[in-house]
Chains A and B, each alone.
Chain A
Amino acid sequence: EPEVTQTPSHQVTQMGQEVILRCVPISNHLYFYWYRQILGQKVEFLVSFYNNEISEKSEIFDDQFSVERPDGSNFTLKIRSTKLEDSAMYFCASHREVDQPQHFGDGTRLSIL
């Protein structure tokens, strides 16, 4: 069964540095998402992306965050200048239609030092 894949599984970055988290959604999916989960807390919506543009974003997704689909397969989340509080698990998800469940990757654990 096709899967959403995320790389790397663990990213360690110095505070203030830029980080790019990568995702390869399922190939025929059209809607793409990023979520984060701070350790021990709930999963929080960050952003949704459809037709090469952001369709929704949460209050968490400020100017430090950006997303891009640079080619037909990758979907990236960039954090421009990381802060300690950006340390979390970041999940990518995708689906083909909005009434279909989202398929999640296994996540990237981001640790900011």
Chain B
Amino acid sequence: EAQVTQNPRYLITVTGKKLTVTCSQNMNHEYMSWYRQDPGLGLRQIYYSMNVEVTDKGDVPEGYKVSRKEKRNFPLILESPSPNQTSLYFCASRKDRDMPYQETQYFGPGTRLLVL
């Protein structure tokens, strides 16, 4: 089954304690992306990756890091989480890198993060 998986699904942590949210896709997609979703603000792109070892900032990259060492994995790292990073996080992947792309963007199930 084609899917994007994220772990953990729920996480409560404290300010400053480093954490990693994993994302993995089994569709051999080149493009992967991280979003955060907050009430009234919609989905905002944090980072994206066009391929292995190629990553770039989205609209809200501050406080986050990513890596793309393998095609299937795209972890999101919060080196020193703060309460304003409390949010719902989605990982997504897509086959095509270029426009106009015909394939849909598949989203993972989401990770709810609470930073105290």
Chain B associates with chain A: no
Binding site for A on B (CB under 8 A): none
Binding site for B on A (CB under 8 A): none
